[in-house]
């Protein structure tokens, strides 16, 4: 299969690596793994299985408690990312480490000691030349003098890749790189990875999307609960066999999609426009209905307007004049017209039964207080950092217990600070809190972000349970396979506009991917309202 089968040679050998955090968490337990040149290796494992930790050890972020590392046959000690880079090891982290106000080139040379850059660092023209060479080699569309804040997420990721290539890395580690990309951007990244492989680089990708593992890698190494389970040739693996290795038992791969029963109108949205920071519409003229008993998916890349859509409904953003959001309670108490949510406070909206659970990229940055336990976090409801804290009406202790049981949150006690829990567990608390508080409209964004398959399925099941109870579910998701399998309808957003609402039972992810990146003319989007735009803008 692989065109380079013959010249595969070990780039890195990890032998008996053990890494513990504190006294209890064994993140890596006696792990031995070989990484070859001219090969793309997937590292697969459930959340918390130790993938990131293992690769952080290789890239100099953590130092192992035990074990040896060999690079090019020589035993090495990697005490810092700089040590790793000297050995040709570069890692692209899940969260980018770029300075927004700096240019691409400035970010690239940031922190390189001049003696390691042949003095080039001081000569930005030479730096730009080298950056252009790298970009030309892999077809990257990065301009050396482009500022980071002007870049799309995909360009920022590309910049991180250029940064490590600039420093001569030929062992590349990408930690869940596709989580933030459209299918088209993902394909482009995979193309780049294949080129690197051709150049003889060793490429390691951590992802939890099995179809990606199957399409991009030559070999898959599986970790389970910190231990190395084994590796398989991708050509001999299937989604099912990989899942079994990963979780150690069979799991149902099919997501259930019951037919909606007696769908009735819960939310009607018309002309919903939200202005972003620069007075440009972040969401423009959105119109759709949401029914009880259905799951309406929302697809779109980051910055497409889904955040504004959810936040406007939840009362966290002020929509422009003329926007309409009406809620129709299931008891019919608001008559045919329903009740307008515009102008209500987030708390009032929540009390009506319209709940939002937004899983941010930084799980502890928003929505949860790291120093508090689960019970404390059930009481707090902070949609925006530092704003609108208020107390839930239900007993927080009971909610905490329900969430712990329903989701299987692993925590020593309900009062253990949530920042001490693993990412997956933190997320269960975040999503579980909204589901357990029995809403009429449940909006969730990125509910399974970064969660392993088992836990993700638990969440899909819980959302389906809500749907069967008649709750109207709005699900903003990243994985198109899941959207297509789970949702009754899928609303696609691109650059703040709805580009389509498709039937989930007939949708294909290629079709959705196209709608997600459908080019719209920004001038055309603007000229209809023209001068009125400023008036609609509110603080
Ligand atoms: N800095 C840290 N401090 C304490 N525990 C950590 C730290 N980093 C990771 N862990 C724990 O180590 C285990 C493995 O985590 P990680 O390597 O991030 O897993 P994965 O990337 O496979 O999801 C988890 O239980 C996680 O909570
Ligand atoms: Mg990880």
pLDDT tens readout for residues 414-449: 888 888 887 677 778 877 877 777 789 999 888 887
- Residue 251 pLDDT more than 90? no
- DSSP string covering 5-17: GGG--EEEEEEEE
Identify whether the C-beta of residue 343 lies closer than 8 Å to the C-beta of residue 327.
no
How many Å lie between the centroid of ligand 1 and the Cα of residue 423? 8
Say if ligand 1 is within 6 A of residue 57 CB: no
pLDDT at site 66: 97
Question: Going by CA atoms, what residue is nearest to atom 3 of ligand 1?
Answer: 21
How many Å lie between the centroid of ligand 1 and the Cα of residue 421? 9
If one residue of 22, 24, 27 were mutated to test the ligand 1 pocket, choosing by the most ligand atoms within 8 A of its CB, it would be: 27
In the structure encoding, which two tokens stand for residue 198, read together?
A: 């051709």
**How sure is the predictor about 21, in pLDDT bands with cuts at 50, 70 and 90?**
confident
pLDDT at site 464: 93
Question: Going by CA atoms, what residue is nearest to atom 27 of ligand 1?
Answer: 422
How many Å lie between the centroid of ligand 2 and the Cα of residue 248? 19
In the structure encoding, which two tokens stand for residue 499, read together?
A: 């580009």
Identify whether the C-beta of residue 385 lies closer than 8 Å to the C-beta of residue 366.
yes
pLDDT at site 159: 95
Say if ligand 1 is within 6 A of residue 202 CB: no
Say if ligand 1 is within 6 A of residue 47 CB: yes
Which stretch of DSSP H or E encloses residue 264? Answer: strand 264-275
pLDDT at site 8: 55
Say if ligand 1 is within 6 A of residue 242 CB: no
Q: Residue 54 CA: which ligand is closest?
A: 1
Average pLDDT, stretch 157-175?
A: 95
Identify whether the C-beta of residue 36 lies closer than 8 Å to the C-beta of residue 8.
yes
pLDDT at site 68: 97
Distance CA 7, CA 138 (A): 22
Mean pLDDT computed over every residue of the chain: 84
Identify whether the C-beta of residue 231 lies closer than 8 Å to the C-beta of residue 221.
yes
- Residue 67 pLDDT more than 90? yes
The atom number, within ligand 1, closest to the CA of 49 reads 22
Distances, alpha carbon 432 to alpha carbons 24, 302, 389, 404, in Å? 25, 23, 18, 8
71 vs 433, residue with greater confidence: 71
249 vs 368, residue with greater confidence: 368
**How sure is the predictor about 253, in pLDDT bands with cuts at 50, 70 and 90?**
low
pLDDT at site 537: 38
Alpha carbon of residue 52 to chain centroid: 15
pLDDT at site 1: 42
Using a 10 angstrom Cβ sphere, with 0-12 exposed, 13-18 middle and 19 or more buried, the burial of residue 366 is middle
Q: Residue 423 CA: which ligand is closest?
A: 1
81 vs 384, residue with greater confidence: 81
CATH of domain 264-320+343-352+462-539: 3.40.50.300
Question: Going by CA atoms, what residue is nearest to atom 21 of ligand 1?
Answer: 52
Half-sphere exposure of 366 (CA within 13 A, CB side): 14
336 vs 58, residue with greater confidence: 58
Distances, alpha carbon 86 to alpha carbons 106, 160, 292, 507, 518, in Å? 20, 17, 57, 48, 42
pLDDT at site 384: 34
Say if ligand 1 is within 6 A of residue 27 CB: yes
Distance CA 302, CA 493 (A): 10
- The answer, as to whether pTM is greater than 0.85, is no
pLDDT at site 527: 37
Distance CA 37, CA 71 (A): 11
- Residue 24 pLDDT more than 80? no
Distance CA 456, CA 485 (A): 13
Say if ligand 1 is within 6 A of residue 410 CB: no
For the ranges 26-30, 279-283, 500-504, 522-526, the lowest mean pLDDT is seen at 522-526
Q: Residue 179 CA: which ligand is closest?
A: 2
Please list the residue range(s) of the chain that carry CATH number 3.40.50.300. Answer: 5-247, 264-320+343-352+462-539
pLDDT at site 380: 64
CATH of domain 5-247: 3.40.50.300
In the structure encoding, which two tokens stand for residue 4, read together?
A: 């380079």
For the ranges 16-20, 96-100, 322-326, 532-536, the lowest mean pLDDT is seen at 532-536
pLDDT at site 391: 42
Average pLDDT, stretch 274-299?
A: 91
**How sure is the predictor about 450, in pLDDT bands with cuts at 50, 70 and 90?**
low
pLDDT at site 266: 96
Which stretch of DSSP H or E encloses residue 360? Answer: none
Q: Which residues contact 120 (CB under 8 A, 6 or more apart)?
A: 109, 126, 127, 130
Distance CA 430, CA 428 (A): 5
Average pLDDT, stretch 71-76?
A: 94
How many Å lie between the centroid of ligand 1 and the Cα of residue 370? 16
**CA triple 101-103-105, angle to 5 deg:** 145
pLDDT at site 407: 77
- CA-based torsion, 114, 118, 120, 122: positive or negative: positive
At 369 the three-state DSSP class reads coil
Helices (H), 81-152: 81-86, 104-109, 124-138
In the structure encoding, which two tokens stand for residue 218, read together?
A: 């030559």
- Residue 526 pLDDT more than 70? no
Average pLDDT, stretch 499-509?
A: 91
The atom number, within ligand 1, closest to the CA of 45 reads 22
**How sure is the predictor about 367, in pLDDT bands with cuts at 50, 70 and 90?**
low
At 265 the three-state DSSP class reads strand
The 10s digit of each residue's pLDDT in 100-135 is 899 999 999 887 876 776 666 678 888 999 999 999
Say if ligand 1 is within 6 A of residue 21 CB: yes
Percent of the chain with pLDDT over 90: 50
């Amino acid at each position: 299969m692989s065109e380079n089968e013959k010249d595969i040679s070990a780039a890195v050998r990890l032998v008996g690596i053990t890494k513990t955090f504190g006294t209890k968490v064994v993140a890596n337990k006696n792990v031995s793994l070989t990484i070859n040149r001219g090969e793309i290796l997937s590292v697969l494992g459930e959340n918390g299985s130790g993938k990131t930790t293992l690769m952080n050890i290789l890239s100099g972020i953590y130092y192992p408690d035990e074990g040896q590392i060999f690079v090019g046959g020589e035993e090495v000690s990697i005490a810092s990312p700089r040590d790793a880079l000297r050995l040709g090891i570069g890692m692209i982290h899940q969260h980018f480490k770029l300075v927004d106000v700096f240019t691409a080139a400035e970010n690239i040379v940031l922190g390189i000691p001049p003696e390691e850059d042949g003095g080039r660092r001081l000569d930005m023209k030479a730096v730009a030349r080298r950056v252009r060479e790298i970009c030309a080699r892999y077809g990257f569309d990065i301009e050396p003098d482009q500022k980071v804040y002007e870049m799309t997420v995909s360009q920022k990721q590309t910049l991180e890749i250029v940064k490590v290539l600039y420093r001569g890395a030929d062992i590349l580690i990408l930690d869940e790189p596709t989580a933030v990309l459209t299918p088209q951007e993902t394909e482009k990244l995979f193309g780049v990875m294949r080129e690197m492989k051709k150049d003889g680089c060793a490429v390691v990708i951590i992802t939890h999307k099995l179809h990606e593992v199957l399409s991009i890698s030559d070999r898959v190494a599986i970790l389970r609960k910190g231990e190395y389970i084994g590796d398989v040739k991708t050509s001999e693996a299937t989604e099912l066999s990989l899942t079994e290795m990963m979780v150690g038992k069979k799991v149902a791969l099919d997501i259930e999609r019951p037919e909606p029963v007696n769908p009735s109108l819960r939310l009607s949205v018309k002309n919903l426009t939200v202005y972003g920071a620069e007075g440009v519409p972040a969401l423009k003229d959105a119109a759709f209905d949401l029914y009880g008993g259905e799951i309406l998916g929302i697809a779109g890349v980051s910055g497409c307007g889904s955040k504004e859509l959810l936040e406007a409904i939840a009362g966290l953003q002020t929509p422009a004049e003329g926007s309409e959001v009406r809620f129709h309670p299931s008891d019919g108490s608001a008559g045919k017209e329903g009740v307008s949510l515009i102008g209500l406070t987030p708390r009032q909206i929540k009390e009506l039964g319209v709940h939002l659970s937004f899983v941010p990229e930084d799980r502890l940055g928003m929505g949860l207080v790291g120093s508090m336990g689960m019970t404390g976090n059930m009481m707090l409801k902070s949609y925006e950092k530092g704003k609108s804290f208020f107390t839930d009406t239900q007993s927080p202790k009971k909610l905490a217990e329900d969430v712990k049981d329903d989701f299987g949150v692993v925590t020593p006690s309900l009062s253990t600070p949530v920042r001490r829990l693993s990412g997956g567990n933190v997320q269960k608390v975040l999503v579980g809190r909204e589901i357990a508080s029995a809403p009429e409209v449940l909006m969730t964004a990125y509910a399974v972000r970064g969660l392993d398959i088992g836990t993700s399925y638990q969440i899909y099941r819980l959302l389906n349970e809500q749907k069967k109870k008649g709750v109207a579910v709005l699900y903003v998701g990243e994985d198109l396979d899941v959207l297509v399998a789970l949702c009754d309808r899928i609303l696609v957003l691109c650059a703040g506009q709805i580009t389509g609402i498709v039937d989930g039972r007939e949708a294909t992810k290629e079709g959705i991917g196209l709608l997600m990146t459908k080019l719209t003319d920004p001038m055309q989007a603007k000229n209809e309202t023209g001068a009125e735009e400023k008036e609609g803008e509110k603080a």
